[in-house]
């Protein structure tokens, strides 16, 4: 089973433009992400897909593999689907470019979901959370699952709603690292954005709205994403540790 990791890398991030080229220690964020993904030794190839010549050159000049997007894309999935269309691969893993501390175990578990069940078309990661601030935060995407660990719904709202105080709810944070069988990813780009996807601004809802189940894999790792300058400062302290 040939697996390839793609790292979508957009330069003009809404909340923190140019964040992937910010320095974290002696390397840029995107270079940390790329090299740590390569370092897992899980993939036949690791490829950065970007709209930016600056990011492209950063990877290429440091011995990495990068390709330029040919067109503008609304989502990371659309960006990597374009790059993956002409590449031989069975499983494609989408690693977010702003997660410089990406680790082997969660990615390995994600790959295993496809090895264990040939019916799995799309898989992603989730992490149990207990912090009430995170649970209430609209920037923390929550997911609820069925008894077989398939996603029922993703939302920025608090799900499940805690109505019965005699029952203790479990809250899962969705971690935006995805795995796809190549055919499922290419189909994603053919579907128009769904109503729920447009309302929540969550691309994974397009799969659910088109009847494609997403297998959720529990991980104890909660990766550090860099969305704001404050996140970068926290990441610098973590790097020192």
Q: What is the pLDDT of residues 206-230, one digit of tens each?
A: 999 999 999 999 999 777 788 888 8
pLDDT for the residue numbered 222: 76
Residue range(s) of every CATH 3.90.550.10 domain in the chain: 1-98, 103-222
Look at residue 39 and tell me whether its pLDDT is greater than 90. Answer: yes
Task: Please state the rounded mean pLDDT for residues 79-104.
Answer: 92
Q: For the chain, how far is it from start to end, CA to CA, in angstroms?
A: 37
Closest Cα to residue 89, out of 181, 178, 177, 179?
181
β-pair type (3-9, 45-50)? parallel
Instruction: Please give the angle made by the CA atoms of 54, 26 and 232, to the nearest 5 degrees.
Output: 75
CB atoms within 10 A of CB 159: 18
Q: Across all residues in the chain, what is the average pLDDT?
A: 93
pLDDT for the residue numbered 226: 86
Q: Please, are residues 125 and 108 in contact by the beta-carbon 8 Å criterion?
A: no
pLDDT for the residue numbered 10: 87
Q: Which residue has the higher pLDDT, 2 or 76?
A: 2
Q: Quick one: CATH architecture of 1-98?
A: Alpha-Beta Complex (3.90)
- Distance, CA of 214 to CA of 185 (rounded, Å): 12
Dihedral, 41, 149, 225, 53 alpha carbons, nearest 10:
60
Task: Look up residue 160 and give its two tokens.
Answer: 């499940």
Q: Please, are residues 158 and 142 in contact by the beta-carbon 8 Å criterion?
A: yes
Fold type of domain 103-222: Spore Coat Polysaccharide Biosynthesis Protein SpsA; Chain A (3.90.550)
pLDDT for the residue numbered 240: 80
Q: Please, are residues 128 and 39 in contact by the beta-carbon 8 Å criterion?
A: no
Look at residue 179 and tell me whether its pLDDT is greater than 90. Answer: yes
Q: Which residue has the higher pLDDT, 164 or 70?
A: 164
β-pair type (23-24, 27-28)? antiparallel
pLDDT for the residue numbered 20: 95
pLDDT for the residue numbered 16: 82
pLDDT for the residue numbered 73: 64
Q: What is the CA radius of gyration of the chain?
A: 17
Task: Please state the rounded mean pLDDT for residues 21-49.
Answer: 96
């Amino acid at each position: 089973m040939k697996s390839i990791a793609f790292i979508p890398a957009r330069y003009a991030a809404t909340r923190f433009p140019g964040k992937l080229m910010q320095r974290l220690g002696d390397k840029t964020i995107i270079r940390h992400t790329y090299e740590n993904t390569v370092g897992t030794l899980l993939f036949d190839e690791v490829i950065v897909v970007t709209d930016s010549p600056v990011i492209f050159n950063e990877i290429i000049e440091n011995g990495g593999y990068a390709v330029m997007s040919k067109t503008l894309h609304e989502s990371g999935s659309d960006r990597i689907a374009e790059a993956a269309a002409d590449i031989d691969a069975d499983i494609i893993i989408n690693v977010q470019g702003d997660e410089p501390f990406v680790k082997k175990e969660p990615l390995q578990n994600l790959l295993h979901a496809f090895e264990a069940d040939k019916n799995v078309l799309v898989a992603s990661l989730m992490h149990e959370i207990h912090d009430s601030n995170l649970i209430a935060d609209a920037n923390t995407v929550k997911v609820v699952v069925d008894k077989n660990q398939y996603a029922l719904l993703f939302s920025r709202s608090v799900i499940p709603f805690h109505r019965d105080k005699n029952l203790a709810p479990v809250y899962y944070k969705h971690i935006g690292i995805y795995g796809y069988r190549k055919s499922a990813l290419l189909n994603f780009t053919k579907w128009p954005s769904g109503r729920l996807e447009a309302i929540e601004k969550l691309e994974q809802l397009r799969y659910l709205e088109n009847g494609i189940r997403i297998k959720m894999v529990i991980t104890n790792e909660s990766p550090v994403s860099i969305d704001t300058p404050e996140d970068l400062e926290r990441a610098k302290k973590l790097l020192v540790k």
